[in-house]
Amino acid sequence: MSSASNSSTLRHVLPNGMVALIRRNPGAPTVSVRGELRVGAALEPPELGGLAVFTGAALTRGAGERSFHQIVAETEGLGCSVSAGGGTQASGFSGKALAEDLPLILEILADMLIRPTFPAAEVERLRGQFLTGLRESEQDTGYRASIAARAMLYPPGHPFSRPSSGSLDSVAAITRDDLARFHRRYHPALSSIAVVGDIDPPAVVAELERHFARWQPDAPPEPVSIPDAPHLVGVRRDDIAMPGKVQADLIWAVHGLRRSAPDYYGAMIANMILGQLGMGGRLGEQVREEQGMAYYCYSDFEADLGAGPWVAAAGVSPENIERAAQAILAEIELFRQEGPTDEELDDARDYLTGSLVIGLETSDGIAGSLLGIERHGLGLDYIERYPAIIAAVDRDQVHAAAQKYLSTESYVLSVAGPV
């Protein structure tokens, strides 16, 4: 149980290990609550794929003394909302309310995390919705290309090799007991909660103590850990034919890096220049602006607890698939060889530091940033230090990251689209 504060953020650790980050933002009479648990699909057995996502979504379906009806009637009656969901590396929960209604939101979120009831009828309804969602995903070209790329990038059994939403078979097999059992992995020592808005921080600490201190699981915490994947050698390709479609989604992918990697900032800026800045960086400039081949072409990576994929993606008409793939590979190779120009580096650094105030404008934005800072142990002064961190990233670091991670010799390519 300790509290620390930096400028305006109060960090308070509950006796059970839950970390609270509280910040007053009086810009609007509202409050945002966002939280996470480092428990996710990485911990579920593959045959029960979708279990973490299912468990997270089921938390609103009944908790404490409240039924699903009561939860939605009480919250929505006040124009507020609570939600929860699972992902591969973490599960999340959130609430949004007028500031006056924060106590209700915290009470219900605490019940959702500590005392979910998983009513059998609600579990079945949720299952039906998930199955429809999966059927829709299976006919989505972007989703199909993405899971095909992951299946080639990571070996079977690796948490990143499969979608966190599971499959039609695995979701059909999950029982109510599986949900309750998975929920036992939820642990305060693996959780953090950010509360930001027109609030009084000490009063919020008292409310959090009141609602969350009773969270005392028997088992010790077991956090998610993501293994490294074996090196990719050579080119693997998967073409998926989907009847009725008119456009194909194309994904090039390699292994990225963990957020804790020492070259994270170099890689992050490399990604911005390659496929983010402006209308999709160099990739957008070449594939969209110069060649007019696609409405979107960009790159992105998932650098979190594990090293997720680093992808370049485009939506193209079927006759342009090979041309677009060649154009993407050519841009990647050029960037690998030459690295960024000084001008590009200045663009990226100026954007990252300049736009900081925009990302921190809303309470949701601030709460999300605080959770990220906590997850990666960056320290409460991270936002103040950030401009100096970015200013210190030089051309060589960006070039080195591009050379280390990007490849035109060993990569996977997936294409999902018209037959």
Strand pairing of 411-417 and 235-241? parallel
Identify residues 326-345 at the interface with another protein (CB under 8 A): none
**Using an 8 Å Cβ cutoff, are 249 and 145 in contact?**
yes
Q: Which stretch binds another protein (CB under 8 A): 72-80, 156-164, 388-396, 397-405?
A: 72-80
**Toward another protein, which CB reaches closer, 30 or 397?**
30
Report helix angle 395-405 to 342-354, nearest 10.
100
SS3 sequence, 212-239? HCCCCCCCCCCCCCCCCCCCCCCEEEEE
Residue 160 beta carbon to another protein: minimum distance, rounded to whole angstroms: 25
Exposed/middle/buried for 179, CB within 10 Å: 0-12, 13-18, 19+?
A: buried
Nearest to 186 by CA among 249, 129, 115, 126: 115
Nearest to 334 by CA among 302, 264, 263, 286: 286
**Toward another protein, which CB reaches closer, 89 or 363?**
363
Q: Identify the residue among 20, 21, 22, 25 touching another protein (CB under 8 A).
A: 25
319 binds another protein, rule: CB under 8 A: no
Identify residues 241-260 at the interface with another protein (CB under 8 A): 243-247
**Toward another protein, which CB reaches closer, 6 or 355?**
355
213 binds another protein, rule: CB under 8 A: no
**Toward another protein, which CB reaches closer, 43 or 58?**
58
Q: Which stretch binds another protein (CB under 8 A): 13-21, 109-117, 271-279, 304-312?
A: 271-279
Q: Give the CB-side neighbour count of residue 72, counting CA atoms within 13 A.
A: 6
Residue 34 beta carbon to another protein: minimum distance, rounded to whole angstroms: 13
Residue 96 beta carbon to another protein: minimum distance, rounded to whole angstroms: 4
Q: Which stretch binds another protein (CB under 8 A): 6-14, 108-116, 326-334, 359-367?
A: 359-367
Residue 353 beta carbon to another protein: minimum distance, rounded to whole angstroms: 7
Report which residue type is found at 299.
S
167 binds another protein, rule: CB under 8 A: no
**Toward another protein, which CB reaches closer, 44 or 347?**
347
Residue 340 beta carbon to another protein: minimum distance, rounded to whole angstroms: 13
Q: Which stretch binds another protein (CB under 8 A): 286-294, 330-338, 378-386, 399-407?
A: 286-294
- Euclidean distance between the first and the last CA atom of the chain, given in angstroms as a whole number: 60
Size of the site for another protein (CB under 8 A): 68
169 binds another protein, rule: CB under 8 A: no
Q: Give the CB-side neighbour count of residue 259, counting CA atoms within 13 A.
A: 14
**Using an 8 Å Cβ cutoff, are 247 and 317 in contact?**
yes
161 binds another protein, rule: CB under 8 A: no
**Tokens coding 96:** 């949004």
Distance CA(377)–CA(299), nearest Å, equals: 26
240 binds another protein, rule: CB under 8 A: no
361 binds another protein, rule: CB under 8 A: yes
Q: Identify the residue among 125, 184, 214, 237 touching another protein (CB under 8 A).
A: 125
Distance CA(404)–CA(256), nearest Å, equals: 10
Nearest to 293 by CA among 273, 322, 257: 322
Q: What are phi and psi of 115, to 5 degrees?
A: -130, 55
Nearest to 394 by CA among 256, 270, 275, 255: 270
96 binds another protein, rule: CB under 8 A: yes
**Using an 8 Å Cβ cutoff, are 162 and 318 in contact?**
no
Distance CA(315)–CA(143), nearest Å, equals: 12
72 binds another protein, rule: CB under 8 A: yes
Residues that bind another protein (CB under 8 A): 25-30, 69, 72-73, 76-81, 83, 96-98, 125, 128-129, 131-133, 135-136, 138-141, 243-247, 277-279, 285, 288-296, 315-317, 346-348, 350-351, 353-358, 360-364
